Amino acid sequence: MKPSATTKSNDSLAYLDDYIDTIEALPLELQRNFTLMRELDGYAQDLVESVAKEAISLIDHVLDMDANDRLDKLKNIADLLSETLKRGEEKVALAKSTHDAVDRHCNRLDADLVKLEDEQPLGDSRITTQPGLEPSAKSLKECADLREKTNKQLERERKDAKNDKRGK
């Protein structure tokens, strides 16, 4: 049974609502992630400054300290460096998560565009042929395949023409 125009319209509206929700949520997620990355970067910068101060203090007073004090200072610096590394790893994980979210969103947009193009009528009224619009990846692949097929056919015709000239 062929879907009616009303069914298609309802499906399109449901899809459009879902799509708008996704589009609206992405900037919020990106903003939240970038704010958190900025905070993590600030924490890491504070820790690096603390490490620098502790290292300078150790260097300045190394001769005045006994072995236990030097060891305590070094352990403190090591702890600060470990915390700095932890913050950096959190930032990298968050950046990767943000990249993955954007990548998923782009892939969905690509898939939706292909689906939309497939539903469009053939001929000049297709969206991909409208002035000012970029063709989709599917259209580009179709054009590349057609170009390759045409080039192969032209190459065969050239070879045939050369063979005909040699044969005469």
Instruction: Report which DSSP code applies to 64.
Output: G
Q: What is the pLDDT of residue 129?
A: 46
CATH level 3 topology of 11-120: Helix Hairpins (1.10.287)
Whether pLDDT at 160 is above 70: yes
| DSSP assignment letter at 2 | P
Average pLDDT over residues 71-98: 95
Mean local confidence (pLDDT), 122-151: 61
For residue 85, the model assigns a pLDDT of 94
pLDDT band at 125 (very low <50, low <70, confident <90, very high): low
Q: Could you tell me what percent of the chain has a pLDDT over 70?
A: 77
- Contact (Cβ atoms closer than 8 angstroms) between residue 44 and residue 86: no
The per-residue pLDDT for 120 is: 72
Average pLDDT, the chain: 81
64-78 pLDDT, tens per residue?
999 999 999 999 999
- The predicted model scores a pTM of 0.56
- The predicted pLDDT at position 114 comes to 80
- Whose CA is closest to 58, among 70, 43, 45, 49? 70
Per-residue pLDDT, 133: 52
Print burial letters for 43-77: b (CB count within 10 Å at least 16), e (below 16).
bbeebeebbeebeeebeeeeeeeeeeeeeebeeeb
53 has pLDDT over 90: yes
Upper half-sphere CA count for residue 15 (Cβ side, 13 Å): 12
Q: What is the DSSP string of 52-104?
A: HHHHHHHHHHGGGS-HHHHHHHHHHHHHHHHHHHHHHHHHHHHHHHHHHHHHH
